[in-house]
Amino acid sequence: MLRILLFLGTNLAVLFMAAIAMSVLTALGVIPPDAPYVAMLIWCALFGFGGSIFSLAISKWVAKKSTGAHVIEKPSNDIERWLHSTVQRQAEQAGIGMPEVAIFDSPDPNAFATGMFRNNALVAVSTGLLRLMNKDEVEAVLGHEISHVANGDMVTLTLIQGVLNTFVLFIARIIASQFERGRFFIYIGLQMAFGVLASIIVAWFSRRREFRADAGGADLESSAAMASALNRLKSMRDAPSQLPDALTAFGIRGEGMLKFMATHPPLEERIARLQAR
């Protein structure tokens, strides 16, 4: 539940800062208070997309800092050599550039992929994943993350979020402009409410992309290995995920108490999809 609240809070914070910035620019006369709808939509798009694209642009840096991930530049042991060669092989099979490969210290069995460009991404696994899964399962998880990169999921979700943020800002501003008093507070309240609805839509898209990443992991390795990895996660489902909120949409784990807000489908459903292939 906490992860879901953080997921909501992160995007609402972006929208809130965008609203403050637009209000300041309006007060300074940069944005005319009675600007035509087309002009206002353009301003909203600048802020709506701007925040999402900026977040994606710094995602690799944030991921490394927030998890303390160690990037494998020159493999120093057998595990690092195996991880590096596996990602290299899968990247070649998927037709993308070699991502950076990293390990982060966490007892939570997890992995994630992030980055603005499919030919310059980051794939990281936790020490817990390496300890609790066998090699076939880890390779399937890596294939899942490589598939996220190859499918352009980071960019896709960023663009979807940008479009939704644009209309959240725009519709909230149009409705608030109809009130004489308390316009700013009405604007913020509407923006928060619409922002929650936007997050539900983004989560729905994220769940659809997760099925594709599972299929990609199965294609790069095998359906049996991918299903085995998901079953392993299922057996440890009660352990809370320690992946930073900004990365949960691209981790291998994640469901949530509220299904419509979860960035990942239920593990049972993911396993059933693989078995039906």
pLDDT tens, position by position, 12-37: 666 666 667 777 777 767 676 666 77
> Which residue shows structure tokens 């998890």?
67
Please tell me the distance from the alpha carbon of residue 142 to that of residue 150, in angstroms, as a whole number.
12
pLDDT, mean of residues 104-113: 89
Q: What is the pLDDT of residue 183?
A: 82
Please tell me the distance from the alpha carbon of residue 262 to that of residue 164, in angstroms, as a whole number.
18
Q: Is 145 a catalytic residue?
A: yes
Which runs of consecutive H residues, i.e. helices, occur in the chain? 2-27, 37-57, 59-67, 78-94, 127-132, 135-150, 153-176, 183-220, 223-235, 267-275
Q: Find all residues with CB under 8 Å of 85, minimum gap 6, and list them.
A: none
Q: Please pick, among 100, 137, 139, 145, the residue that the annotation labels catalytic.
A: 145
pLDDT tens, position by position, 205-242: 888 999 999 999 999 999 999 999 999 988 876 555 55
Residues paired with residue 112 on neighbouring β-strands, in sequence order: 124, 251
Angle in degrees, CA 232, 238, 242, rounded to 5: 90
